[in-house]
Amino acid sequence: MKHLLLIFFSVCLSTNALAQTSAREEIAANPYLCGSNHLDYDNYPATAALTKTPKGYEPYYLTHYGRHGSRWLLDEEDYMGTIETLRKAKAQGKITNKGNEVLAQLEKFYPCTIKRLGDLTTVGERQHHGIGRRLAEHFPEIFKKKGIHIDARSTIVIRCILSMEAECEELAAANPTIHFHNDVSQAFQYYLNAPWSKSLRESNRKRGDTLAPLRDKWTKPERLMGVLFNDPQWVADSLRAGSVMRHLFDIASNMQSHEGAPDLLKLFTAEELYDQWRIRNVDWYLGYGHAPQTDGIMPFSQARLLKNIIQTADTVQQVQATLRFGHEVCVMPLACLLELGQSGARVDNLEELDKVWRNYNIFPMGCNIQLIFYRPKKGKSGDILVKALLNEREQTLPIPSDNYPYYRWADLRAYYLKKLADFEAQSN
């Protein structure tokens, strides 16, 4: 009973922390948050100090999965679609002075995207240098130990490889005696960026139909169209205004991935930023969270990754670290599968989703999950403990603990293995 009360209290603390400020208020105070997966990691820094190591214990192993840092958008149409719309309006005399200004800003910016779509930006590199530096600062017992072995692996995507290199450079600077094993191969894709199973694909088909009415309800383009174009009838006849708004928002929200880029978020009101974020919050929840609307199974896309984390931890005998690098489409569902903090929430009313589940807490550019293992010091006895960090913030875990944020690894391991086994049995 004592353990149950303690975990209930921990979950209540996490829920109350969300309840203290609404997502609308947080986005109004920090507009960068509206970017969802475009959020610059350093525009939402962790500020709380980490809890001290339990008395009589020492950290000896860190296992990690991190997303690449900030990048250019992925497709030329992501930029050119909006540019061509504005050019069309200009050619027909339907653009305002502000619309002309935005067009000029985009035309000036666009050349730097050529042959760089999806590439890591200097902002993304900076994010991972910071994360690597703080790894050494937070856990010197691991990363500053002489001759420590670090296994670092990445998906085959260049932005992920460069993100891995940036973190490893900082760790090497902190401890020149580290022995790195860096590896990149198609052979690791089965767990670093696993393909979806048939059941996941079938559940995901429900995503679009569920999202559509909320997307239409929360997209209110009339004011913005009046800022950019001088003829409402022309807009109605010639454009899909909601689509124009959403595409411009995507460009604007990702401008934080670049040093010195134009601040296009100022084109939107605080309420418009919140509404556009809500659309994407629901979309990501349906596609990667434990959403009842998509059968609650989408986080199991990372079943192989979780198994690899557990199996690798089982082999550790000495001080070491395992670093994995990939994508937000892995970090997001892994956080939900692990049930870090509120990540595993199941919400029936999607209009109330942001009261308990906010994507910017999970997967900014450079997002990462760290599990740190602790063992009794020499001459001491006790259980192996583990602590979870999501973007360098301590998280509750889905089992009882009488020493939050530390949990018995044996209990947590058993919980996750049962969760995976139950899903596999259900799928067969």
Over residues 149-170, mean pLDDT: 98
pLDDT band at 308 (very low <50, low <70, confident <90, very high): very high
Q: Which of 153, 165, 155 is nearest to 127 (CA)?
A: 165
pTM: 0.94
What does the H/E/C string look like for the chain?
CHHHHHHHHHHHHHHHHHHHCCHHHHHHHCHHHHHHHHCEHHHCCCCCCCCCCCCCEEEEEEEEEEECCCECCCCHHHHHHHHHHHHHHHHCCCECHHHHHHHHHHHHHHHHHCCCCCCECHHHHHHHHHHHHHHHHHCHHHHCCCCCEEEEEECCCHHHHHHHHHHHHHHHHHCCCCEEEEEECHHHHHHHCCCCCHHHHHHHCHHHHHHHHHHHHHCCCHHHHHHHECCHHHHHHHCCHHHHHHHHHHHHHHHHHCCCCCCHHHHCCHHHHHHHHHHHHHHHHHHHCCCHHHCCCHHHHHHHHHHHHHHHHHCCCCCEEEEEEECHHHHHHHHHHHCCCCCCCCCCCHHHHHHCCCHHHCCCECCEEEEEEEEECCCCCCCCEEEEEECCEECCCCCCCCECCEEEHHHHHHHHHHHHHHHHHHHC
- Reported as a single tens digit per residue, the pLDDT across 262-297 is 999 999 999 999 999 999 999 999 999 999 999 999
Residue 14 has a pLDDT of 43
Over residues 120-137, mean pLDDT: 98
User: So where are the chain's domains?
Assistant: 2-72+121-199+296-427, 76-116+206-280
Over residues 127-141, mean pLDDT: 98
Decide the pairing of beta strands 368-376 and 385-390.
antiparallel
pLDDT band at 371 (very low <50, low <70, confident <90, very high): very high
How many angstroms separate the Cα of 349 from the Cα of each of 175, 273, 319? Answer: 50, 21, 45
3.30.420.40, 3.20.20.140, 3.40.50.1240, 3.40.50.10490: CATH of 2-72+121-199+296-427: 3.40.50.1240
Is the CB of residue 353 less than 8 Å from the CB of residue 342?
no
CA gap 87, 228 in Å, rounded? 11
Structure tokens at 325: 């690098």
What is the C-alpha radius of gyration for the chain, rounded to an integer number of angstroms?
23
Q: Is the pLDDT of residue 9 over 70?
A: no
Is the CB of residue 393 less than 8 Å from the CB of residue 342?
no
Q: Is the pLDDT of residue 6 over 80?
A: no
Distance of CA 160 to the CA centre of its chain: 14
Residue 37 has a pLDDT of 98
Q: Is the pLDDT of residue 15 over 50?
A: no
